[in-house]
């Protein structure tokens, strides 16, 4: 979250920054038919296919060049179906000292792939495994033999890491909680411990009506039963010295607001692209910060700021396509019209239609980030202005700034103080033609708290 807050504060000071992370969906195809599988209810999913190898490599090169720090490789399908081209991209990510995370069903690991991932020191692998029992697991994923293939892969990772005395990649298991495995969390903890897993992640399986069967969604009674069992589960994890993360079982109080908005209908279109305003992220108005932090890329060429931007609405299809993905740079797309429009609506409190499906975890994260922005914003402005004053020559302009700062300190309202500081910052920008090569940018980079 610290890195995310730094990026947000850059944006607030009128300095556009690259995304912290790219969430990359290489393919929508899957080798399993899980009860929550995208393919099961959407026969046309294969029409989205997979990102071509040359385009995949271009995305990774562009992202590393523009300063992306984290790569999350996941998707509605199984990324390891593209393992040959994917390994090359993962190697490039690690050569550029980026953090890499892979989400997989764990059924397609081979000794060569595992050797490559250990060799490049890939950071994190999250294996989706619904049950520690072979029969139940294979029934849930509707694929006979799936459990044994996952076990074989986990054991090969453990043996190779032990042999080389290395800790990476860290292996976690994600257990999508559902009625079929509600009583198996304790057994999964013991299974994970034996297989060298670091953390067990337990949270409800997806509940999107167009993807998930009702049989995989827990009732209120089942949620209550599991909640009452959580203390015992946490006690067991401590005794095993196993990490455990239990995701929110219910959404935060109050539904996410749903306002009608599409790129074509937005009333904010004329404002799009004006991302260099100082003080643009007012915590009282900002609805979501993901458009400032995350770029999600799907095989269809559709971009978005998060995983809940739905396929049905095809976010951004008027601006992007698989062909456009191959010809445009990520930098042009990130600083271009579409993402600027997303950011403009987010910072003025206009959520998109798909925001109603926001996950409890993502909403909790947004609340924490906006709270941190509210608490840290004023201090960062103070540091920036102080540094500007130290760097400025002792001329009449500098004296005027000092005089106005003294006047600001005498104001009683915190809001008026903040507005006064923002006005000084705005005036400092007036004659700067290129903010990203400006004196202010160099000054902020010199501040330890902004260093990346």
* Residue 396: burial class (beta carbons within 10 Å; 0-12, 13-18, 19+): exposed
416 domain residue, yes or no: yes
Closest CA to 20 of 227, 306, 262: 306
DSSP conformational letter for 281 = -
> Shortest CA distance to 78 belongs to which of 158, 141, 152?
141
Q: Is residue 418 part of a domain?
A: yes
Residues forming a β-bridge with 364: none
Q: Which two tokens stand for residue 283?
A: 């915590």
> What backbone torsions phi and psi does residue 202 show, to the nearest 5 degrees?
-120, 120
Domain, as residue range, for 410 = 375-450
Question: Hey, is 256 helix, strand or coil?
Answer: coil
Per the structure block, which two tokens stand in for 23? 């969430």
CA separation for the pair 448, 129 (Å, rounded)? 42
What pLDDT score was predicted for residue 169?
Answer: 93
User: CA–CA separation, 304 vs 24, rounded Å?
Assistant: 11
Does some domain include residue 278? no
* Environment class of 201 (CB within 10 Å of its CB; exposed 0-12, middle 13-18, buried 19+): middle
User: Among candidates 96, 101, 7, which has minimal Cα distance to 452?
Assistant: 7
260 domain-assigned: no
Q: What count of other Cβ atoms lies within 10 Å of the Cβ of residue 441?
A: 18
In a domain, 379, yes or no: yes
Residue 442 domain flag? yes
Predicted pLDDT at 433: 38
How are strands ordered across the β-sheet holding 124-128?
243-246, 199-204, 170-177, 124-128, 99-104, 70-73, 21-24, 294-297, 303-304
- Residues lower than pLDDT 70 in the chain: 1-2, 34-48, 205-216, 250-280, 309-327, 381-402, 404-406, 408-452
Q: Is residue 440 part of a domain?
A: yes
> Which residue, among 379, 409, 393, has the nearest Cα to 13 in the 3D structure?
379
Is residue 398 in a domain? yes
- The number of domains in the chain is 1
Per-residue pLDDT at 452: 37
Position 335 scores a pLDDT of: 85
């Amino acid at each position: 979250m610290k890195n995310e807050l730094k990026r947000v504060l850059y944006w607030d000071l009128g300095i556009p920054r690259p995304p912290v992370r790219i969430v990359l969906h290489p393919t929508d195809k899957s080798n399993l038919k899980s009860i929550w599988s995208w393919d099961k209810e959407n026969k046309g999913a294969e029409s989205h296919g997979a990102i071509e190898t040359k385009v995949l490599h271009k995305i990774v090169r562009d992202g590393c060049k523009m300063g992306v720090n984290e790569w999350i490789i996941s998707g509605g399908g199984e990324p390891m179906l593209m393992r040959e081209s994917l390994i090359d991209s993962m190697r490039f990510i690690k050569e550029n000292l980026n953090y890499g995370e892979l989400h997989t069903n764990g059924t397609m690991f081979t000794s060569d792939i595992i050797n490559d991932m250990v060799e490049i020191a890939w950071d994190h692998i999250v294996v989706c495994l619904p049950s520690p029992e072979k029969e139940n697991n294979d029934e849930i994923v509707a694929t006979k033999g799936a459990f044994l293939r996952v076990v074989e892969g986990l054991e090969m990772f453990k043996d190779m890491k032990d042999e080389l005395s290395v800790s990476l990649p860290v292996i976690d298991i994600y257990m999508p909680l559902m009625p079929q495995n509600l009583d198996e969390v304790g057994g999964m903890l013991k299974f994970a411990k034996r297989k060298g897993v670091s953390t067990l992640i337990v949270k409800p399986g997806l509940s999107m009506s167009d993807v998930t069967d009702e049989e995989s969604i827990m009732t209120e009674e089942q949620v209550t039963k599991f909640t009452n069992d959580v203390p015992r589960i946490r006690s067991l994890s401590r005794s095993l010295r196993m990490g455990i993360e239990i995701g929110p079982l219910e959404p935060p109080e109050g539904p996410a607001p749903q306002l009608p908005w599409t790129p074509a209908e937005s009333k904010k279109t004329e404002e799009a692209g004006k991302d260099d305003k100082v003080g643009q992220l007012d915590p009282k108005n900002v609805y979501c910060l993901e458009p400032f932090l995350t770029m999600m890329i799907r095989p269809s060429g559709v971009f978005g700021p998060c995983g809940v931007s739905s396929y049905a609405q095809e976010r951004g299809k008027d601006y992007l396509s698989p062909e456009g993905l191959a010809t445009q740079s990520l930098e042009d797309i990130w600083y271009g019209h579409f993402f600027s429009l997303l950011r403009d609506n987010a910072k003025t409190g206009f959520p998109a239609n798909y925001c109603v499906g926001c996950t409890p975890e993502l909403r909790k994260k947004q609340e924490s980030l906006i709270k941190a922005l509210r608490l840290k914003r004023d201090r960062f402005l103070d540091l920036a202005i102080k540094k500007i004053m130290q760097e400025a020559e002792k001329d009449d302009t500098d004296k005027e700034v000092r005089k106005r700062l003294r006047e600001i300190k005498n104001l009683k309202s915190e809001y008026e103080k903040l507005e006064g500081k923002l006005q000084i910052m705005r005036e400092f920008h007036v004659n700067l033609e290129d903010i990203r090569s400006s004196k202010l940018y160099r000054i902020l980079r010199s501040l330890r708290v902004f260093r990346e």
